[in-house]
């Protein structure tokens, strides 16, 4: 859902001051509550009479109309210049759909790049091959770099027979 945008100097605007003189801060609260409700329900700034009645805000609504912040309509009230400052329903829906499609494409691309768990765990684990040494068979750990280092160290220390000799 979109944010309800309010200027940080809103409280100083002459229309707001007039509504506050008429009805106090409650008029500002009704204006703000109705604005967030309009954005949440994508009404393009239309406030039905039922919303005003449900919130017991008839006095505040009259003060907002008198101050020029709202315009009275057949179905209720409308924010003055709402579409100049807030996104329209069409803009919000289009943006939501575009983001949804982009997210879907991104998810599909990611799924193509990464292997599934089955594929990831299906890779064979290297198994060391036995090396014949005379009559004995020794399993080589030299399949990894660390294993080769360990084997060279053991050979230097004389713990393992050199190639071609018997320990």
Number of domains in the chain: 3
* 50 shares a domain with 32: yes
Question: In terms of DSSP H, where are the helices of 24-129?
Answer: 25-41, 49-54, 58-67, 82-85, 89-113, 117-121
User: Which of 85, 104, 136 corresponds to the end of one domain?
Assistant: 85
* Rg (alpha carbons) of the chain, rounded to whole number: 37
Q: What percent of the chain has pLDDT over 70?
A: 72
Asked whether the predicted pLDDT for residue 100 surpasses 90, the reply is no
* 128 shares a domain with 70: no
Assigned domain for 1 exists: no
CA angle 12, 15, 16 (to 5 degrees): 50
Sign of CA dihedral 50, 55, 58, 64: negative
Assigned domain for 132 exists: yes
Q: What is the dihedral of CA 142, 147, 152, 157, to 10 degrees?
A: -130
Closest of 111, 43, 115 to residue 77, by C-alpha = 43
pLDDT at 165: 55
pLDDT tier at 148, thresholds 50, 70, 90: confident
pLDDT at 152: 81
Full residue range of the structural domain in which residue 157 is found: 124-161
* 67 shares a domain with 15: yes
- Whether the predicted model's global pTM rises above the 0.75 cut: no
Asked whether the predicted pLDDT for residue 149 surpasses 70, the reply is yes
Partners of residue 137 on adjacent β-strands: 132
Question: In terms of DSSP H, where are the helices of 114-133?
Answer: 117-121
Mean pLDDT of the chain: 82
Other CB atoms within 10 Å distance of the CB of residue 80: 15
* 97 shares a domain with 49: no
């Amino acid at each position: 859902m979109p944010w309800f945008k309010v200027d940080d100097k809103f409280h100083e605007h002459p229309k707001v001051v007039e509504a506050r003189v008429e009805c106090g801060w409650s008029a500002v609260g009704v204006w703000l509550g109705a604005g967030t409700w309009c954005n949440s329900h994508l009404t393009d700034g239309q406030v039905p009479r039922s919303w005003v009645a449900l919130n017991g805000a008839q006095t505040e609504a009259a003060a907002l109309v008198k101050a020029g912040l709202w315009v009275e309509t057949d179905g209720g009230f409308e924010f003055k210049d709402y579409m100049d400052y807030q996104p329209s329903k069409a803009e919000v829906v289009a943006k939501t759909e575009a983001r949804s499609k982009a997210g879907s494409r991104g998810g599909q691309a990611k799924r193509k790049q990464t292997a599934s768990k089955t594929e990831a765990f299906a890779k064979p684990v290297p198994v060391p091959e036995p090396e014949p040494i005379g009559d004995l068979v020794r399993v080589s750990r030299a399949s990894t770099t660390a294993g080769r280092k360990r084997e060279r160290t053991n050979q230097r220390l004389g713990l393992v027979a050199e190639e071609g000799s018997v320990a």
